[in-house]
Structure 1
Amino acid sequence: MAQRAAPASGSSPGQDGRVRSEFPYAVEGGSEKLVRTVLKTLERHVSAGEWQHLKSRVPNSFAALLP
């Protein structure tokens, strides 16, 4: 069962902060692992060409998370 996460001490704003604010539950491995797992799953459901197109269209900070 998911539990509300405690605010991260010293966390910086950005993607992690946004994930925490929009999905405020504790996840084993942390929110970055959750995001990476979701992206790996998404990658399995789109063609290689679509995936490369997506990677070329998102900001570099986000593209770095893509598998």
Structure 2
Amino acid sequence: MKEKPSLIVKLWFLLNTVITLAPPIYWYANKLQHPIFGLPPTIFYFLIVGLSITTSIVYAYLDEKENGRIE
């Protein structure tokens, strides 16, 4: 019997999908002129999105392992 992923994992994946696929967010970051932590805003945007996606995948794995869905 398979259990469904936890609600936080589903919401986090949904948020990542929206942030990744929504061009207006990228367009806004592209219009910014001031560096964020010394990086151009578009590079910072992609780093944050990539970090969020990677972290959500690791969290989903740990959540499934903790709940006994993965041995």
Q: Same fold (TM over 0.5)?
A: no
The structure where helix makes up a greater share of residues is: 2
The structure where strand makes up a greater share of residues is: 1
Larger Rg: 2
Length-normalised TM-score, structure 1: 0.29
Higher relative contact order (CA 8 A, sep 6+): 2
